[in-house]
Amino acid sequence: MKARDVHQVWAVGAPDIQACACIQPLTDGNGHWLTSLFVDPSVRNQGLAGRMLSQMRLAASGSIWLFCRPELADLYHHHGYQITGNLPESLASKLQRYRREKDLIALVNLG
């Protein structure tokens, strides 16, 4: 995961990071984009991703958008995300480009 100045980063675990996530504000001010969420395979299914999603939802104003593989949709649905085809233009063009190499869906949590 590569974070820039505009990103907000969450991390869990000490001394080793077990999970991390990163969101960035959209340039049009229409919410945030969850650019990455990672949980170490050795600690998956312990609720870390869900806790991070909940904390991000509390901290971020507006909608939170993300792209994921279809098999991960249930995790996000459980935390208030819905599949969407109505994306801000900046994300629609990214999704179109990313779909050239991966099977991805777009989800949004409207807050």
Task: Look at residue 13 and tell me if it is in a domain.
Answer: yes
Non-local (6+) Cβ contacts of 35 within 8 A are 1, 7, 22, 23, 24
Q: Which amino acid is at 90?
A: S
Task: Look at residue 1 and tell me if it is in a domain.
Answer: no
User: What CATH code is carried by the domain that includes residue 38?
Assistant: 3.40.630.30
Rounded Cα distance, 107 and 82, in Å:
5
Q: Do residues 35 and 23 lie in contact, with contact meaning Cβ atoms separated by under 8 Å?
A: yes
Q: Over the stretch 33-46, which tens digit does the pLDDT of each residue have?
A: 999 999 999 999 99
The total number of structural domains in the chain stands at 1
Domain region containing 24: 8-109
Number of Cβ within a 10 Å radius of residue 41: 7
pLDDT band at 7 (very low <50, low <70, confident <90, very high): confident
Q: Over the stretch 64-111, which tens digit does the pLDDT of each residue have?
A: 999 999 999 999 999 999 999 999 998 999 999 999 999 999 999 998
Task: Look at residue 3 and tell me if it is in a domain.
Answer: no
Task: Look at residue 21 and tell me if it is in a domain.
Answer: yes
pTM, rounded to two decimals? 0.88
